[in-house]
Structure 1
Amino acid sequence: MPESLFVAVDGQQLHLRCFGPDQGQPLLMLHGAISNGKVFYSDSGKGLAPYLAAQGFRVYVLDLRGRGLSEPPINSQARHGQLEAIRDDLPAVQRFIMDRHPGQAVHWLAHSWGGVLMASTLARFPGLASRVASLTFFGSKRSIHSWSFERLIKVELVWNLLAPWWVRRHGYLPAKAKKIGADNETANALADSIAWVKKRPWIDPKDGFDYAKAACNVDWPRLWLLAGKADKALGNPRDVARFQQEMAAKGQITLLAKTNGFRRNYNHLDMLVGSDAAKELFPKVRDWLLG
Protein backbone atom coordinates (compact mmCIF):
# COMPACT_ATOMS: atom_id res chain seq x y z
CA MET A 1 0.00 0.00 0.00
CA PRO A 2 1.25 3.50 -0.72
CA GLU A 3 2.21 5.67 2.22
CA SER A 4 3.01 9.33 2.85
CA LEU A 5 6.25 10.59 4.33
CA PHE A 6 7.30 14.17 5.05
CA VAL A 7 10.67 15.92 4.89
CA ALA A 8 11.08 19.10 6.91
CA VAL A 9 12.96 21.87 5.07
CA ASP A 10 13.07 25.54 6.09
CA GLY A 11 9.78 25.43 7.96
CA GLN A 12 8.08 23.50 5.14
CA GLN A 13 6.81 19.93 5.15
CA LEU A 14 7.58 18.33 1.79
CA HIS A 15 5.27 15.43 0.98
CA LEU A 16 6.56 12.19 -0.53
CA ARG A 17 4.02 9.64 -1.74
CA CYS A 18 5.77 6.28 -1.56
CA PHE A 19 5.04 3.12 -3.52
CA GLY A 20 6.65 -0.31 -3.70
CA PRO A 21 8.81 -2.51 -1.51
CA ASP A 22 11.13 -0.86 1.02
CA GLN A 23 14.10 -2.82 -0.30
CA GLY A 24 13.51 -1.85 -3.92
CA GLN A 25 15.82 0.33 -6.01
CA PRO A 26 14.91 3.92 -5.04
CA LEU A 27 13.37 6.27 -7.60
CA LEU A 28 12.48 9.96 -7.11
CA MET A 29 9.76 11.52 -9.28
CA LEU A 30 9.23 15.26 -9.71
CA HIS A 31 6.30 17.07 -11.32
CA GLY A 32 6.39 20.27 -13.36
CA ALA A 33 4.93 23.76 -13.00
CA ILE A 34 1.27 24.27 -11.93
CA SER A 35 1.22 20.58 -11.09
CA ASN A 36 1.88 18.13 -8.28
CA GLY A 37 2.90 14.54 -7.77
CA LYS A 38 -0.44 13.11 -8.87
CA VAL A 39 0.65 13.41 -12.48
CA PHE A 40 2.45 10.13 -11.70
CA TYR A 41 -0.36 8.29 -9.89
CA SER A 42 -4.10 8.20 -9.29
CA ASP A 43 -6.17 7.19 -6.29
CA SER A 44 -7.34 4.17 -8.28
CA GLY A 45 -3.79 2.87 -8.61
CA LYS A 46 -3.04 3.93 -12.17
CA GLY A 47 0.04 5.81 -13.32
CA LEU A 48 3.76 5.39 -13.78
CA ALA A 49 4.56 5.36 -10.05
CA PRO A 50 2.32 2.36 -9.18
CA TYR A 51 3.47 0.60 -12.34
CA LEU A 52 7.16 0.87 -11.46
CA ALA A 53 6.43 -0.07 -7.86
CA ALA A 54 4.83 -3.28 -9.12
CA GLN A 55 8.10 -3.94 -10.99
CA GLY A 56 10.00 -3.86 -7.70
CA PHE A 57 11.13 -0.22 -7.45
CA ARG A 58 10.72 1.87 -4.32
CA VAL A 59 9.13 5.02 -5.75
CA TYR A 60 9.11 8.39 -3.99
CA VAL A 61 6.85 11.01 -5.61
CA LEU A 62 7.62 14.52 -4.41
CA ASP A 63 5.19 17.40 -4.03
CA LEU A 64 7.19 20.64 -4.19
CA ARG A 65 6.63 23.31 -1.53
CA GLY A 66 2.96 24.13 -1.12
CA ARG A 67 1.86 21.71 -3.84
CA GLY A 68 -0.13 18.53 -3.38
CA LEU A 69 -0.03 17.44 0.26
CA SER A 70 3.03 19.52 1.15
CA GLU A 71 2.42 22.07 3.90
CA PRO A 72 1.67 24.91 4.15
CA PRO A 73 -0.24 25.32 0.88
CA ILE A 74 0.67 28.19 -1.41
CA ASN A 75 -1.02 31.49 -0.62
CA SER A 76 -0.29 35.19 -1.00
CA GLN A 77 2.27 35.05 1.81
CA ALA A 78 4.46 32.40 0.14
CA ARG A 79 7.83 33.83 -0.91
CA HIS A 80 9.68 30.75 -2.16
CA GLY A 81 10.44 30.13 -5.82
CA GLN A 82 12.70 28.05 -8.04
CA LEU A 83 15.87 28.74 -6.08
CA GLU A 84 14.57 27.07 -2.94
CA ALA A 85 13.51 23.98 -4.86
CA ILE A 86 16.91 23.73 -6.56
CA ARG A 87 19.19 24.74 -3.72
CA ASP A 88 17.34 23.38 -0.67
CA ASP A 89 14.49 20.98 -1.35
CA LEU A 90 15.82 18.53 -3.91
CA PRO A 91 19.17 18.04 -2.11
CA ALA A 92 17.32 17.51 1.19
CA VAL A 93 14.96 14.94 -0.34
CA GLN A 94 17.88 13.17 -2.02
CA ARG A 95 19.67 12.92 1.35
CA PHE A 96 16.47 11.64 2.96
CA ILE A 97 16.13 8.87 0.37
CA MET A 98 19.83 7.95 0.52
CA ASP A 99 19.58 7.60 4.30
CA ARG A 100 16.78 5.10 3.78
CA HIS A 101 18.72 3.22 1.07
CA PRO A 102 22.37 3.14 2.14
CA GLY A 103 24.78 2.44 -0.67
CA GLN A 104 22.17 2.68 -3.41
CA ALA A 105 21.99 5.32 -6.13
CA VAL A 106 18.62 6.96 -6.76
CA HIS A 107 16.95 7.12 -10.18
CA TRP A 108 15.57 10.61 -10.92
CA LEU A 109 12.52 10.97 -13.16
CA ALA A 110 10.71 14.21 -14.00
CA HIS A 111 7.91 15.64 -16.07
CA SER A 112 8.20 19.00 -17.84
CA TRP A 113 9.67 21.78 -15.66
CA GLY A 114 10.66 19.21 -13.06
CA GLY A 115 13.48 18.15 -15.38
CA VAL A 116 14.80 21.71 -15.43
CA LEU A 117 14.80 21.83 -11.63
CA MET A 118 16.56 18.46 -11.37
CA ALA A 119 19.21 19.37 -13.94
CA SER A 120 19.76 22.71 -12.22
CA THR A 121 20.25 20.96 -8.89
CA LEU A 122 22.95 18.69 -10.32
CA ALA A 123 24.65 21.65 -12.02
CA ARG A 124 24.73 23.51 -8.70
CA PHE A 125 25.76 20.43 -6.68
CA PRO A 126 27.71 18.16 -9.06
CA GLY A 127 28.72 15.92 -6.18
CA LEU A 128 25.15 14.63 -6.04
CA ALA A 129 25.46 13.14 -9.53
CA SER A 130 27.46 10.17 -8.29
CA ARG A 131 24.46 9.07 -6.24
CA VAL A 132 21.96 9.48 -9.09
CA ALA A 133 21.58 6.28 -11.10
CA SER A 134 19.84 7.82 -14.13
CA LEU A 135 17.84 10.80 -15.36
CA THR A 136 14.56 10.33 -17.25
CA PHE A 137 12.83 13.50 -18.40
CA PHE A 138 9.37 13.62 -20.02
CA GLY A 139 8.80 16.72 -22.13
CA SER A 140 11.43 18.79 -20.32
CA LYS A 141 12.63 22.03 -21.89
CA ARG A 142 14.07 25.20 -20.38
CA SER A 143 13.49 27.87 -23.02
CA ILE A 144 10.85 27.91 -25.73
CA HIS A 145 12.18 28.69 -29.20
CA SER A 146 9.63 26.92 -31.38
CA TRP A 147 6.54 28.77 -32.59
CA SER A 148 3.04 27.32 -32.85
CA PHE A 149 -0.56 28.31 -32.20
CA GLU A 150 -0.36 26.29 -28.97
CA ARG A 151 2.59 28.40 -27.84
CA LEU A 152 0.70 31.60 -28.65
CA ILE A 153 -2.20 30.59 -26.38
CA LYS A 154 -0.57 28.63 -23.55
CA VAL A 155 2.73 30.47 -23.24
CA GLU A 156 2.50 33.98 -24.67
CA LEU A 157 -1.09 34.70 -23.60
CA VAL A 158 -1.69 32.62 -20.47
CA TRP A 159 1.77 32.18 -18.91
CA ASN A 160 3.50 35.42 -19.88
CA LEU A 161 0.52 37.83 -19.76
CA LEU A 162 -2.49 36.53 -17.82
CA ALA A 163 -0.58 34.67 -15.10
CA PRO A 164 1.43 37.75 -13.94
CA TRP A 165 -1.81 39.76 -13.94
CA TRP A 166 -3.49 37.14 -11.72
CA VAL A 167 -0.45 37.25 -9.40
CA ARG A 168 -0.81 41.02 -9.04
CA ARG A 169 -4.46 40.54 -8.06
CA HIS A 170 -4.07 37.55 -5.73
CA GLY A 171 -0.46 37.58 -4.55
CA TYR A 172 0.12 34.13 -6.08
CA LEU A 173 -0.97 32.23 -9.20
CA PRO A 174 -4.33 30.50 -8.44
CA ALA A 175 -3.90 28.03 -11.28
CA LYS A 176 -6.45 25.57 -9.91
CA ALA A 177 -9.19 28.19 -9.63
CA LYS A 178 -8.36 29.53 -13.10
CA LYS A 179 -8.46 25.96 -14.44
CA ILE A 180 -5.05 26.19 -16.11
CA GLY A 181 -3.28 23.61 -13.95
CA ALA A 182 -3.54 21.01 -11.22
CA ASP A 183 -1.88 23.18 -8.56
CA ASN A 184 -0.92 26.76 -7.74
CA GLU A 185 2.39 28.63 -8.06
CA THR A 186 4.05 31.34 -6.02
CA ALA A 187 4.73 34.75 -7.47
CA ASN A 188 8.49 34.13 -7.34
CA ALA A 189 8.27 30.71 -9.01
CA LEU A 190 6.24 32.19 -11.86
CA ALA A 191 8.64 35.11 -12.35
CA ASP A 192 11.67 32.79 -12.30
CA SER A 193 10.16 30.41 -14.87
CA ILE A 194 9.10 33.23 -17.18
CA ALA A 195 12.67 34.54 -17.18
CA TRP A 196 13.98 31.19 -18.40
CA VAL A 197 11.13 30.40 -20.80
CA LYS A 198 11.82 33.71 -22.57
CA LYS A 199 15.20 32.39 -23.73
CA ARG A 200 17.26 34.24 -21.14
CA PRO A 201 20.56 32.60 -20.12
CA TRP A 202 20.51 29.62 -17.76
CA ILE A 203 21.52 31.85 -14.87
CA ASP A 204 19.62 31.98 -11.59
CA PRO A 205 17.40 35.08 -11.51
CA LYS A 206 17.87 35.39 -7.74
CA ASP A 207 21.53 34.75 -6.90
CA GLY A 208 23.18 34.82 -10.35
CA PHE A 209 24.48 31.23 -10.30
CA ASP A 210 25.55 30.25 -13.84
CA TYR A 211 24.00 26.82 -14.40
CA ALA A 212 25.09 26.61 -18.03
CA LYS A 213 28.73 27.10 -17.11
CA ALA A 214 28.51 24.70 -14.19
CA ALA A 215 26.76 22.04 -16.30
CA CYS A 216 29.92 21.61 -18.38
CA ASN A 217 31.66 20.19 -15.30
CA VAL A 218 28.97 17.69 -14.28
CA ASP A 219 29.59 13.98 -14.72
CA TRP A 220 26.00 13.46 -15.81
CA PRO A 221 24.19 10.19 -15.04
CA ARG A 222 22.63 8.17 -17.85
CA LEU A 223 20.14 10.46 -19.55
CA TRP A 224 16.94 9.74 -21.48
CA LEU A 225 14.71 12.52 -22.76
CA LEU A 226 11.26 11.77 -24.16
CA ALA A 227 9.39 14.24 -26.36
CA GLY A 228 5.91 13.97 -27.85
CA LYS A 229 5.47 14.78 -31.51
CA ALA A 230 2.07 16.36 -30.74
CA ASP A 231 3.62 18.52 -28.01
CA LYS A 232 3.83 21.82 -29.88
CA ALA A 233 4.78 24.22 -27.09
CA LEU A 234 5.32 22.96 -23.53
CA GLY A 235 7.80 20.27 -24.53
CA ASN A 236 8.38 20.77 -28.23
CA PRO A 237 10.89 18.12 -29.39
CA ARG A 238 13.23 20.79 -30.78
CA ASP A 239 13.24 22.60 -27.43
CA VAL A 240 13.83 19.32 -25.60
CA ALA A 241 16.89 18.72 -27.82
CA ARG A 242 18.13 22.26 -27.10
CA PHE A 243 17.85 21.58 -23.38
CA GLN A 244 20.07 18.51 -23.69
CA GLN A 245 22.66 20.58 -25.57
CA GLU A 246 22.50 23.21 -22.85
CA MET A 247 23.12 20.54 -20.23
CA ALA A 248 26.22 19.45 -22.19
CA ALA A 249 25.14 15.91 -21.41
CA LYS A 250 25.28 12.78 -23.51
CA GLY A 251 22.06 10.84 -23.72
CA GLN A 252 19.30 9.63 -25.93
CA ILE A 253 16.15 11.42 -27.11
CA THR A 254 13.07 9.46 -28.12
CA LEU A 255 10.37 11.07 -30.26
CA LEU A 256 7.03 9.62 -29.22
CA ALA A 257 5.45 9.46 -32.64
CA LYS A 258 3.60 7.02 -34.87
CA THR A 259 6.50 7.15 -37.30
CA ASN A 260 8.66 5.63 -34.56
CA GLY A 261 6.26 2.75 -33.98
CA PHE A 262 4.15 4.22 -31.16
CA ARG A 263 0.37 4.02 -31.15
CA ARG A 264 -0.05 7.78 -31.24
CA ASN A 265 1.74 11.09 -31.53
CA TYR A 266 1.95 11.87 -27.83
CA ASN A 267 1.32 15.30 -26.32
CA HIS A 268 2.69 16.92 -23.18
CA LEU A 269 0.47 15.09 -20.72
CA ASP A 270 -0.72 11.83 -22.25
CA MET A 271 2.84 10.45 -22.23
CA LEU A 272 2.18 9.95 -18.51
CA VAL A 273 -1.59 9.69 -18.07
CA GLY A 274 -2.79 8.15 -21.33
CA SER A 275 -3.90 4.52 -21.57
CA ASP A 276 -1.59 3.95 -24.52
CA ALA A 277 1.38 5.14 -22.46
CA ALA A 278 0.64 2.57 -19.78
CA LYS A 279 0.61 -0.19 -22.39
CA GLU A 280 3.60 0.69 -24.55
CA LEU A 281 5.70 3.38 -22.85
CA PHE A 282 5.79 2.36 -19.19
CA PRO A 283 7.46 -1.01 -20.00
CA LYS A 284 10.16 0.85 -21.95
CA VAL A 285 10.79 3.06 -18.92
CA ARG A 286 11.12 -0.02 -16.74
CA ASP A 287 13.62 -1.57 -19.12
CA TRP A 288 15.62 1.67 -19.30
CA LEU A 289 15.82 1.94 -15.52
CA LEU A 290 16.99 -1.64 -15.29
CA GLY A 291 19.78 -0.73 -17.68
Structure 2
Amino acid sequence: MITQTSHFLDFDDHSIHLREISPEQPSDLPPVLMLHGAIEDGRIFYSKSGKGLACALARAGHSVYVIDSRGRGQSTPPIGKDNNHGQFEMIAHTLPECHRWVLARHASHSKIHWMAHSWGGVVMCSALIRFPELTESVESQVFFGTKRTIKQWSFERLFKVEFLWKRFGPWLAKKKGFFPFKQWKMGSDNETYLSISEGQLWVRDVAWVDPRDNFDYGSNAKSVNWPRTWFIAALKDPVLGHPKDVRRFSDEMGHGKHTILSKANGNALDYDHINMLTHPKAVDDYFSDVINFIRAQQAA
Protein backbone atom coordinates (compact mmCIF):
# COMPACT_ATOMS: atom_id res chain seq x y z
CA MET A 1 0.00 0.00 0.00
CA ILE A 2 1.04 3.59 -0.58
CA THR A 3 -0.08 6.63 1.39
CA GLN A 4 -1.03 10.09 0.15
CA THR A 5 -0.73 13.29 2.17
CA SER A 6 -1.22 16.95 1.27
CA HIS A 7 1.22 19.65 2.35
CA PHE A 8 0.75 23.40 1.91
CA LEU A 9 3.66 25.82 1.64
CA ASP A 10 2.76 29.42 2.35
CA PHE A 11 4.22 32.18 0.16
CA ASP A 12 3.00 35.65 1.11
CA ASP A 13 -0.52 35.84 -0.38
CA HIS A 14 -0.81 32.28 -1.68
CA SER A 15 -0.35 28.64 -0.68
CA ILE A 16 1.28 25.92 -2.79
CA HIS A 17 -0.06 22.37 -2.57
CA LEU A 18 2.36 19.44 -2.68
CA ARG A 19 0.92 15.94 -2.81
CA GLU A 20 3.19 13.50 -1.03
CA ILE A 21 2.87 9.89 -2.18
CA SER A 22 4.90 7.58 -0.01
CA PRO A 23 5.85 3.89 -0.09
CA GLU A 24 4.43 1.50 2.48
CA GLN A 25 7.85 1.04 4.05
CA PRO A 26 10.51 3.77 4.29
CA SER A 27 13.45 3.27 1.94
CA ASP A 28 16.84 4.83 1.31
CA LEU A 29 15.90 5.86 -2.24
CA PRO A 30 16.01 9.58 -3.16
CA PRO A 31 12.70 11.46 -3.39
CA VAL A 32 11.13 12.59 -6.66
CA LEU A 33 9.73 16.08 -7.34
CA MET A 34 7.15 16.36 -10.14
CA LEU A 35 5.71 19.37 -12.00
CA HIS A 36 2.73 19.47 -14.36
CA GLY A 37 2.40 21.46 -17.58
CA ALA A 38 0.14 24.28 -18.75
CA ILE A 39 -3.66 23.99 -18.41
CA GLU A 40 -3.06 21.18 -15.88
CA ASP A 41 -2.51 20.43 -12.24
CA GLY A 42 -0.56 17.71 -10.48
CA ARG A 43 -3.20 15.04 -11.02
CA ILE A 44 -1.65 14.27 -14.41
CA PHE A 45 0.77 12.16 -12.30
CA TYR A 46 -1.53 10.51 -9.75
CA SER A 47 -5.06 9.67 -8.62
CA LYS A 48 -6.53 9.05 -5.19
CA SER A 49 -7.08 5.43 -6.19
CA GLY A 50 -3.36 4.91 -6.81
CA LYS A 51 -3.07 5.28 -10.57
CA GLY A 52 -0.35 7.19 -12.40
CA LEU A 53 3.42 7.50 -12.53
CA ALA A 54 3.78 9.09 -9.08
CA CYS A 55 2.00 6.13 -7.49
CA ALA A 56 4.13 3.66 -9.47
CA LEU A 57 7.27 5.41 -8.22
CA ALA A 58 6.01 5.22 -4.63
CA ARG A 59 5.27 1.52 -4.97
CA ALA A 60 8.88 1.15 -6.17
CA GLY A 61 10.12 2.75 -2.94
CA HIS A 62 10.44 6.47 -3.74
CA SER A 63 8.78 9.26 -1.78
CA VAL A 64 7.16 11.46 -4.42
CA TYR A 65 6.08 15.10 -4.20
CA VAL A 66 3.77 16.51 -6.86
CA ILE A 67 3.45 20.29 -7.15
CA ASP A 68 0.22 22.13 -7.94
CA SER A 69 1.64 25.37 -9.31
CA ARG A 70 0.29 28.68 -8.10
CA GLY A 71 -3.52 28.90 -8.24
CA ARG A 72 -3.95 25.42 -9.74
CA GLY A 73 -5.26 22.19 -8.27
CA GLN A 74 -5.41 22.52 -4.49
CA SER A 75 -3.10 25.55 -4.36
CA THR A 76 -4.88 28.67 -3.16
CA PRO A 77 -6.29 31.09 -3.96
CA PRO A 78 -7.51 29.59 -7.24
CA ILE A 79 -6.83 31.43 -10.47
CA GLY A 80 -9.27 34.32 -10.84
CA LYS A 81 -9.62 37.78 -12.29
CA ASP A 82 -7.11 39.50 -9.98
CA ASN A 83 -4.04 37.36 -10.73
CA ASN A 84 -0.67 39.02 -11.22
CA HIS A 85 1.52 35.93 -11.55
CA GLY A 86 2.82 33.88 -14.45
CA GLN A 87 5.61 31.45 -15.28
CA PHE A 88 8.28 33.78 -13.87
CA GLU A 89 7.07 33.18 -10.31
CA MET A 90 7.24 29.42 -10.82
CA ILE A 91 10.76 29.56 -12.27
CA ALA A 92 12.27 32.10 -9.90
CA HIS A 93 10.46 31.34 -6.65
CA THR A 94 8.01 28.45 -6.27
CA LEU A 95 9.95 25.58 -7.85
CA PRO A 96 13.29 26.39 -6.11
CA GLU A 97 11.51 26.76 -2.76
CA CYS A 98 9.61 23.48 -3.17
CA HIS A 99 12.89 21.78 -4.08
CA ARG A 100 14.59 23.11 -0.96
CA TRP A 101 11.62 22.09 1.20
CA VAL A 102 11.78 18.49 -0.06
CA LEU A 103 15.55 18.39 0.47
CA ALA A 104 15.12 19.59 4.04
CA ARG A 105 12.40 17.00 4.63
CA HIS A 106 14.75 14.24 3.41
CA ALA A 107 17.95 15.40 5.06
CA SER A 108 19.65 12.04 4.52
CA HIS A 109 19.64 12.67 0.77
CA SER A 110 21.69 15.30 -1.02
CA LYS A 111 19.84 14.96 -4.33
CA ILE A 112 16.32 14.76 -5.76
CA HIS A 113 15.01 13.38 -9.05
CA TRP A 114 12.96 15.85 -11.12
CA MET A 115 10.16 14.90 -13.51
CA ALA A 116 7.78 17.06 -15.54
CA HIS A 117 5.07 16.90 -18.16
CA SER A 118 4.98 19.23 -21.16
CA TRP A 119 5.63 22.90 -20.27
CA GLY A 120 6.63 21.88 -16.76
CA GLY A 121 9.93 20.68 -18.23
CA VAL A 122 10.61 24.12 -19.69
CA VAL A 123 9.99 25.62 -16.25
CA MET A 124 12.35 23.13 -14.61
CA CYS A 125 15.14 23.70 -17.13
CA SER A 126 14.71 27.46 -16.85
CA ALA A 127 15.04 27.25 -13.06
CA LEU A 128 18.30 25.28 -13.35
CA ILE A 129 19.71 27.80 -15.80
CA ARG A 130 18.74 30.72 -13.59
CA PHE A 131 20.04 28.99 -10.45
CA PRO A 132 22.83 26.65 -11.64
CA GLU A 133 23.74 25.85 -8.04
CA LEU A 134 20.52 23.79 -7.89
CA THR A 135 22.03 21.26 -10.30
CA GLU A 136 24.23 20.01 -7.45
CA SER A 137 21.10 18.63 -5.77
CA VAL A 138 19.21 17.31 -8.83
CA GLU A 139 20.09 13.67 -9.53
CA SER A 140 18.25 13.32 -12.85
CA GLN A 141 15.45 14.76 -14.98
CA VAL A 142 12.74 12.92 -16.94
CA PHE A 143 10.49 15.00 -19.20
CA PHE A 144 7.33 13.79 -20.93
CA GLY A 145 6.30 15.65 -24.09
CA THR A 146 8.39 18.71 -23.22
CA LYS A 147 9.10 21.28 -25.93
CA ARG A 148 9.72 25.03 -25.91
CA THR A 149 8.91 25.96 -29.51
CA ILE A 150 6.28 24.50 -31.84
CA LYS A 151 7.23 24.25 -35.52
CA GLN A 152 5.27 21.22 -36.76
CA TRP A 153 2.17 22.16 -38.75
CA SER A 154 -1.27 20.55 -38.49
CA PHE A 155 -4.91 21.60 -38.19
CA GLU A 156 -4.62 21.03 -34.45
CA ARG A 157 -1.76 23.51 -34.31
CA LEU A 158 -3.80 26.11 -36.19
CA PHE A 159 -6.55 25.94 -33.58
CA LYS A 160 -4.74 25.19 -30.30
CA VAL A 161 -1.58 27.22 -30.85
CA GLU A 162 -2.03 29.86 -33.56
CA PHE A 163 -5.58 30.83 -32.63
CA LEU A 164 -6.17 29.83 -29.01
CA TRP A 165 -2.75 30.19 -27.34
CA LYS A 166 -1.26 33.03 -29.37
CA ARG A 167 -4.29 35.18 -30.16
CA PHE A 168 -7.67 34.54 -28.56
CA GLY A 169 -6.24 33.25 -25.26
CA PRO A 170 -4.13 36.30 -24.41
CA TRP A 171 -6.92 38.65 -25.54
CA LEU A 172 -9.58 36.99 -23.38
CA ALA A 173 -7.27 36.47 -20.43
CA LYS A 174 -6.29 40.15 -20.43
CA LYS A 175 -9.93 41.18 -20.59
CA LYS A 176 -11.23 38.64 -18.04
CA GLY A 177 -8.09 38.35 -15.89
CA PHE A 178 -7.58 34.67 -16.74
CA PHE A 179 -8.56 32.09 -19.36
CA PRO A 180 -11.29 29.68 -18.12
CA PHE A 181 -9.91 26.49 -19.64
CA LYS A 182 -11.39 24.39 -16.81
CA GLN A 183 -14.88 25.88 -17.01
CA TRP A 184 -14.89 25.49 -20.80
CA LYS A 185 -13.75 21.85 -20.39
CA MET A 186 -10.62 22.50 -22.45
CA GLY A 187 -8.19 21.51 -19.72
CA SER A 188 -7.99 20.49 -16.08
CA ASP A 189 -7.14 24.00 -14.86
CA ASN A 190 -7.15 27.68 -15.86
CA GLU A 191 -4.31 29.97 -16.88
CA THR A 192 -3.52 33.56 -15.93
CA TYR A 193 -2.94 36.31 -18.47
CA LEU A 194 0.73 36.47 -17.54
CA SER A 195 1.28 32.73 -17.83
CA ILE A 196 -0.28 32.71 -21.31
CA SER A 197 1.42 35.88 -22.54
CA GLU A 198 4.84 34.90 -21.19
CA GLY A 199 4.62 31.32 -22.44
CA GLN A 200 3.39 32.10 -25.94
CA LEU A 201 6.44 34.30 -26.57
CA TRP A 202 8.68 31.26 -26.23
CA VAL A 203 6.32 29.04 -28.23
CA ARG A 204 6.68 31.55 -31.10
CA ASP A 205 10.39 30.68 -31.25
CA VAL A 206 11.31 34.05 -29.78
CA ALA A 207 14.68 33.90 -28.04
CA TRP A 208 14.69 32.01 -24.75
CA VAL A 209 14.84 35.23 -22.75
CA ASP A 210 12.69 36.10 -19.74
CA PRO A 211 10.20 38.87 -20.62
CA ARG A 212 10.26 40.17 -17.02
CA ASP A 213 13.93 40.82 -16.39
CA ASN A 214 15.59 39.86 -19.71
CA PHE A 215 17.51 36.96 -18.18
CA ASP A 216 18.94 35.05 -21.15
CA TYR A 217 18.25 31.35 -20.60
CA GLY A 218 19.31 30.38 -24.12
CA SER A 219 22.79 31.88 -23.88
CA ASN A 220 23.42 30.27 -20.50
CA ALA A 221 21.86 26.84 -21.16
CA LYS A 222 24.88 25.07 -22.60
CA SER A 223 27.13 26.17 -19.76
CA VAL A 224 24.95 24.39 -17.18
CA ASN A 225 26.27 21.15 -15.72
CA TRP A 226 23.02 19.35 -16.53
CA PRO A 227 21.95 16.30 -14.58
CA ARG A 228 21.35 13.21 -16.72
CA THR A 229 18.13 14.00 -18.63
CA TRP A 230 15.68 11.79 -20.54
CA PHE A 231 13.22 13.30 -23.04
CA ILE A 232 10.25 11.01 -23.70
CA ALA A 233 7.97 11.92 -26.65
CA ALA A 234 4.83 10.21 -27.96
CA LEU A 235 4.29 9.24 -31.58
CA LYS A 236 0.68 10.47 -31.67
CA ASP A 237 1.50 13.88 -30.21
CA PRO A 238 1.22 16.12 -33.29
CA VAL A 239 1.42 19.52 -31.58
CA LEU A 240 1.95 19.83 -27.84
CA GLY A 241 5.01 17.59 -27.71
CA HIS A 242 5.87 16.56 -31.25
CA PRO A 243 9.04 14.42 -31.20
CA LYS A 244 10.86 16.88 -33.49
CA ASP A 245 9.97 19.83 -31.24
CA VAL A 246 11.04 17.82 -28.19
CA ARG A 247 14.38 17.11 -29.87
CA ARG A 248 14.80 20.79 -30.72
CA PHE A 249 14.42 21.74 -27.07
CA SER A 250 17.05 19.27 -25.92
CA ASP A 251 19.37 20.70 -28.59
CA GLU A 252 18.94 24.12 -26.96
CA MET A 253 20.09 22.57 -23.71
CA GLY A 254 22.88 20.69 -25.43
CA HIS A 255 22.04 17.51 -23.56
CA GLY A 256 19.54 14.66 -23.33
CA LYS A 257 18.58 11.06 -24.08
CA HIS A 258 15.55 10.56 -26.38
CA THR A 259 12.74 8.03 -26.70
CA ILE A 260 9.59 8.03 -28.87
CA LEU A 261 6.79 5.91 -27.41
CA SER A 262 5.32 3.84 -30.24
CA LYS A 263 4.46 0.30 -31.26
CA ALA A 264 7.30 0.44 -33.76
CA ASN A 265 9.71 1.01 -30.87
CA GLY A 266 8.28 -1.90 -28.88
CA ASN A 267 5.65 -0.13 -26.78
CA ALA A 268 2.13 -1.40 -26.16
CA LEU A 269 0.54 1.40 -28.18
CA ASP A 270 1.20 4.65 -30.00
CA TYR A 271 0.80 7.10 -27.10
CA ASP A 272 -0.34 10.73 -27.25
CA HIS A 273 0.41 13.83 -25.17
CA ILE A 274 -1.88 12.90 -22.27
CA ASN A 275 -2.21 9.12 -22.23
CA MET A 276 1.57 8.72 -22.15
CA LEU A 277 1.04 9.36 -18.42
CA THR A 278 -2.55 8.21 -17.87
CA HIS A 279 -3.05 5.04 -19.94
CA PRO A 280 -3.33 1.88 -17.78
CA LYS A 281 -0.90 0.02 -20.06
CA ALA A 282 1.87 2.56 -19.40
CA VAL A 283 2.47 1.07 -15.93
CA ASP A 284 3.70 -2.27 -17.22
CA ASP A 285 4.83 -0.91 -20.59
CA TYR A 286 7.46 1.72 -19.80
CA PHE A 287 7.03 3.17 -16.29
CA SER A 288 9.43 0.46 -15.13
CA ASP A 289 11.99 1.87 -17.60
CA VAL A 290 11.63 5.28 -15.97
CA ILE A 291 12.21 3.73 -12.55
CA ASN A 292 15.26 1.87 -13.84
CA PHE A 293 16.62 5.09 -15.39
CA ILE A 294 16.59 7.03 -12.14
CA ARG A 295 17.98 4.04 -10.24
CA ALA A 296 20.87 3.92 -12.70
CA GLN A 297 21.72 7.57 -12.04
CA GLN A 298 21.79 6.92 -8.32
CA ALA A 299 24.05 3.91 -8.80
CA ALA A 300 26.39 5.91 -11.01
TM-score normalised by length of structure 1: 0.97
Asked if 2 retains the 8 angstrom alpha-carbon contact of 1:91 and 1:121, the reply is yes
Match of 1:43 in 2: 48
- Cα deviation for residue 123 of structure 1 reads 0.4
Match of 1:142 in 2: 148
- Cα deviation for residue 153 of structure 1 reads 2.0
Match of 2:14 in 1: 12
Matches within 5 A, 1:151-190: 151-190=157-196
Q: How many matched pairs?
A: 290
- Cα deviation for residue 264 of structure 1 reads 1.4
For 2:193, give the aligned amino acid.
A
Name the SS of the counterpart of 1:181 in structure 2: coil
Distance 1:127 1:25 in 2: 19
Distance 2:133 2:204 in 1: 30
Name the SS of the counterpart of 1:117 in structure 2: helix
Please list the CA deviations of residues 140-159 of structure 1 after superposition, one character each: whole Å capped at 9, or x if unmatched: 00011111222112211222
Asked if 2 retains the 8 angstrom alpha-carbon contact of 1:224 and 1:253, the reply is yes
Name the SS of the counterpart of 2:281 in structure 1: helix
Match of 1:272 in 2: 277
Please list the CA deviations of residues 211-265 of structure 1 after superposition, one character each: whole Å capped at 9, or x if unmatched: 011112210001000000110000000000000011122x210011111111211
Give aligned-pair identity as a percent.
46
Please list the CA deviations of residues 186-223 of structure 1 after superposition, one character each: whole Å capped at 9, or x if unmatched: 11001001101111010001110000111122100010
Distance 1:258 1:50 in 2: 25
Give structure 2 stretches of 5+ with no counterpart. Answer: none
Give structure 1 stretches of 5+ with no counterpart. Answer: none
CA RMSD, Structure 1 to Structure 2 (Å)? 1.2
For 1:4, give the aligned amino acid.
S
Q: Report the more deviating stretch, 219-228 or 160-169.
A: 160-169
Please list the CA deviations of residues 21-54 of structure 1 after superposition, one character each: whole Å capped at 9, or x if unmatched: 4554210000000100000011221111111101
Q: Report the more deviating stretch, 63-72 or 15-24.
A: 15-24
Matches within 5 A, 1:1-291: 1-21=3-23, 23=27, 24-102=29-107, 103-249=109-255, 251-291=256-296
Asked if 2 retains the 8 angstrom alpha-carbon contact of 1:26 and 1:104, the reply is no
- Cα deviation for residue 78 of structure 1 reads 0.9
For 1:9, give the aligned amino acid.
F
- Cα deviation for residue 164 of structure 1 reads 2.0
Please list the CA deviations of residues 78-130 of structure 1 after superposition, one character each: whole Å capped at 9, or x if unmatched: 10111110000111001101101123310000000000000000000000001
- Cα deviation for residue 9 of structure 1 reads 2.3
For 1:20, give the aligned amino acid.
S
